[in-house]
Structure 1
Amino acid sequence: MSELILIAASGLAREVLAMVRSSGQYDVVGLLDDNTEMAGVTVDGAPVLGTIDDAAKYTHAFVLVCIGSGRVREAVVERLTAMGLTESRYAIAVDPSVQYPEGCRVGRGSILLRNVTMTASVTLGAHVVAMPSVTFTHDDDVADFATFAAGVSLGGGVRVGRGAYVGMNASVRERTSVGAYATVGMGAAVLNDVPDGQTWVGVPAHEISGANSTFRGMS
């Protein structure tokens, strides 16, 4: 069984820890977190071994960045890359319940939790996070570092940009797009393209001018 280091002692890390233990995918060696007060603490039976800078010490272990915010996840991956970690060092964590047909692709560093569904020819980039019961329909194309909260549904042929966040139980109409680093609020119904960097909420979804990242998951 391959060894695994989880980056960040977060709620997402706890969910990944439970998933990989129950499935036997990896042997979790421990967690790394920059909060020095966490050093030596045990999280659901897994020790916090040090800070993120210690990742280079664990040369035989795979790594997963367990941070809910795509922007922060991206920044940590850039930091690890500067330390010499290559893309091949990142695990892919997929719950056994996930529907994963032939012809679908999932990039390195991605996390797919329970009951995620991919119907046909779905492409997920690197370091994508999909919480429970997310549905990706045929020909969806998701860029690196995108994040999907629980219950999100994408219609067919949807494009989701780098670092985008789609909130809990939101729906995105077929053949529309969510731009890079855009945010879709929980329960929103996206009927038109969301431009890069904008925040859209409501039914039908519309832009909130000057919105911040209130809707982004950070756990």
Structure 2
Amino acid sequence: MALVQSLILVGGGGTGSDVMSLIEACNQLNDVQRYEVRGLLDDGAEAGSYRFGVKVLGGLDQGAELCAQDPDVLLVDCMGSPDNYTRRKVVLTDAGLDLGRFATLIHPHASVAFDAQIGFGSLIFANVSILSDVVVGSHVTILANCVLNHGVRVADFAILASNVCLSGDVVVGSASYLGCGVNVKGRIKIGAGALAGLGSAVIRDIADGETVVGVPARPIARVK
């Protein structure tokens, strides 16, 4: 009998609900349970309460202790809000969580090329297509129906919302956020901490920390 991997979710927002669906899809594959969710950590929810049917075990600062108690448990990075996407790494490390202790989850209906590389702690949702020579870093979230064409590079902690399409050899910087339906021309470079708004068509490089919107995408001042 295959061993069941124990998981603790980190973050109780909407992405956590999506992750539960991802886990359920993995468990339904060949009718074999691969994962069991023990609970979740969320600083904004009361311990003992429930989020999307999962018990809140405490705040993020409880994670290190829980991991020490069970050396086999893995965490799942469920933080994905466009309001705080640049701070994901800081939030996790400030809570004392080991960034290498996070599970990589790939939906059974995702298509991943044989030579693609996906880092630890990354989440790949349904109907994502990852083509040849693509490298996805650690703690990257790629939501449903995204397409990453040949030679794409996605750095750590980046988030791709649903229906993003990256043409060949695009480089996506660390802790960046691409909104739903963003299309990026080939060989474009997107800087660290950048944001491309909903439905943008990116045909020029985006600088670090820059926000762009529109067709074609143009820089705008970021609302504080």
Q: TM-score, normalised by structure 2?
A: 0.88
Task: From the superposition, tell whether residues 138 and 46 of structure 1 become closer, same or farther in structure 2 (CA, over 3 Å).
Answer: same
1:47 aligned residue: 55
Structure 1 distance, partners of 2:79, 2:97, is: 20
Q: Which residue of 1 aligns with 2:42?
A: 33
**Contact 1:109–1:128 (CA under 8 A) maintained in structure 2:** yes
Q: Give the letter for the 1:38 counterpart.
A: E
Q: 1:131-210 to 2 correspondence within 5 Å? A: 131-208=143-220, 210=221
Counterpart amino acid of residue 55 in structure 2: P
> Which segments of 5 or more consecutive residues in structure 1 lack a partner in the other structure?
214-219
CA distance in 2, matches of 1:56, 1:190: 40
Amino acid at match of 1:31: L
Give the fraction of aligned pairs with identical amino acids, expressed as a percent. 34
Distance 1:172 1:84 in 2: 33
Classify the secondary structure of the residue corresponding to 1:38.
coil
Equivalent position to 2:92, from 74, 77, 80: 77
Residue of structure 1 equivalent to 2:31: none
- CA RMSD, Structure 1 to Structure 2 (Å): 1.4
The answer as to whether partners of 2:10 and 2:60 remain within 8 angstroms in 1 is yes
CA contact (8 A) 1:30 1:47 kept: yes
Q: Which has the higher contact order (CA 8 A, sep 6+)?
A: 1
Residue 56 of structure 1 pairs with residue 64 of structure 2: yes
1:86, distance to aligned residue in structure 2 (A)? 5.0
C-alpha displacement of 1:57: 2.3
Gaps of 5+ in 2: 28-33
Contact (CA 8 Å) 2:93, 2:99: kept in 1 or not? no
- Measure, in 2, the Cα distance between the counterparts of 1:74 and 1:86: 8
CA deviation string 1:89-119 (max 9, x = no partner): 1100111111011110111111111111101
Q: SS where residue 49 of structure 1 aligns?
A: strand
CA distance in 2, matches of 1:27, 1:112: 18
Question: What's 1:17 paired with?
Answer: 20
1-side partners of 2:50 and 2:9: how far apart? 13
Q: Normalising by structure 1, what TM-score?
A: 0.90
SS at 1:132's partner residue?
Answer: coil
